[in-house]
Structure 1
């Protein structure tokens, strides 16, 4: 088999055996294809089964001049997964990247918005248009439920359990979780669904998808990014924000108002609470309040 055949089988393995999401699979495959293109461009004839550590080190050195350390670490992770797959299928006995270390990364604190910023962004939505009603409902859902943008655009009407006060979300690795949804967010979703969405030329395959574009198809993630960037410009918000900023703000504001990390972890869908703990570092004021309130030396 050539590189393309191994990559195709790797893609099937990620989907069937590991159950990864479409976006994750695309990222892993792209990592291996970068290596494949490097070998072709440099006339290096070697297969996935006999490529050596030295060749991979040269590739990594070459790419390190073009990408930042975080992207480099991500690339190494994808390639290690590919060679681990080859070991799993007994094509190889070793992982040639085993001794190659990823660059050390400091943990990046997430960007967040204040409650006022969020109110101003949502308040800037033009409700005189059908898209405005949709955009308000989307932003309220992003912030009110802490969703990833991929979870937002794939949210289905059949996932709404308003009587019980929850929505069902399908996250990374097709893992599902239930998230509480506030009456306010329910209200804006209902307005959009009943007064705007029902009048769209809905395509059959998207009949259960909640948020649609004007052609009756699922919104792209890029469109959600564009909507948010345009609103930020409209209110002169000089911050580099994205849909994920709403998710970070959701977690930070919950923590600031007394929510426990375990509950936030469940709502965000983090496998490890270590991932959620990053929000402990966002607001020092909150940590100081916890110390003053709960440490025995501070009690009278």
Structure 2
């Protein structure tokens, strides 16, 4: 069983990731931390709390973290995720409370309790994790590894994905992503190389085969309706949970092992993830497995068996 902490900015795709993690016996969910991303950070944390209570996991501590990126300004408009950050799905507020500890302190405490055993699942801007490493440098050696959907690595067989481009989370706080990805902590990345191969048919299969009486299905139904109303693709709801699935089922993806660097310079290159398996990349202090292949049939089966059954 893997001990994991999920660092997120709960919109509807983060919510599905939390649902899958909570339903997976392969994972011991030690804590959930929230960062500003699609909405203000306390709202993000409360969104996570609401989801976990509906999953029957009120025992999991949830902490609010960074309210803004390390050096940049983030504005919230609700266009892509609604005024609540959760696609206006109308969840009942949780009866439990947020942790009194800030996110960095909660993660640090858990790492001190279980050094070398905890994996971080990062599905948001990496501000919390960068602040953790800055305040507690020893955390580098205490984190077992990081699973993330952040970045684009140019390793996908599909030629349209050969040219890496910034992912939203990295572009939102490139300084934080640079600090974390280049820290030397082992990173398993499900970047745009594979997440861009999601299809609406996968969401449609969940809608067709899922248990329509379950609260999780009704959440998905409302989130899909929100996306369609805003001109957004339903498949985007399935991005973040890919990092959870990779932690649950190691065989679900195939990887190239190499090193990565992140551009934090303003301009067109801001937030771009550079990846190399040899040569010039040898100078980078990073350790990254970048996915180039992902089994979406196993992925959707996991949701149908565990979340929408």
* TM-score between both structures, scaled by the size of structure 1: 0.27
Structure index of larger Rg? 1
Higher helix content, 1 or 2 = 1
For normalisation by structure 2, the TM-score amounts to 0.26
